Amino acid sequence: DTGVSQNPRHKITKRGQNVTFRCDPISEHNRLYWYRQTLGQGPEFLTYFQNEAQLEKSRLLSDRFSAERPKGSFSTLEIQRTEQGDSAMYLCASSREGNTIYFGEGSWLTVV
């Protein structure tokens, strides 16, 4: 049983460029989450999918952010027109219903 997989693990991009992160959850996990973590802080909730339906988006997620989970399998998180304040680690997690949430290794974003 493989864990949550995220790629790329590291991304350096210039301000104004678009970036996309991919998350492959644990097989048969119907719930998928995205969190953002900045240095020295705990993760903050961004968005949640149950199967393919995006059920909640945090106010942290501006209009430049979009997440999808086509067919209820993998998910993508796209950030358009990146800003320096977007520099953070983006963590994906999955769970089966209300059970324990398992996280991936995260995708580090640096906007220069």
Partner 1 sequence: AQKITQTQPGMFVQEKEAVTLDCTYDTSDPSYGLFWYKQPSSGEMIFLIYQGSYDQQNATEGRYSLNFQKARKSANLVISASQLGDSAMYFCAMRGVAANDYKLSFGAGTTVTVRA
Residues that bind partner 1 (CB under 8 A): 31, 33, 35, 40-45, 48, 50, 55-56, 89, 91, 93, 95, 98, 100-106, 108
Closer of 67 and 91 to partner 1 (Cβ): 91
Q: How far is the CB of 105 from partner 1 (least distance, A)?
A: 4
Looking at residue 86, its amino acid is D
Q: How far is the CB of 16 from partner 1 (least distance, A)?
A: 26
Which 3 state secondary structure label does DSSP give 71? helix
Q: How far is the CB of 45 from partner 1 (least distance, A)?
A: 5
Closer of 26 and 80 to partner 1 (Cβ): 26
Say how many CA atoms lie within 13 Å of 6 toward its Cβ.
Answer: 24
Closer of 82 and 107 to partner 1 (Cβ): 107
**For the chain, how long is the longest CA-to-CA vector?**
39
Strands 107-111 and 75-79: unpaired
- The backbone torsions φ and ψ at residue 92, rounded to the nearest 5 degrees and listed phi first, read -110, 145
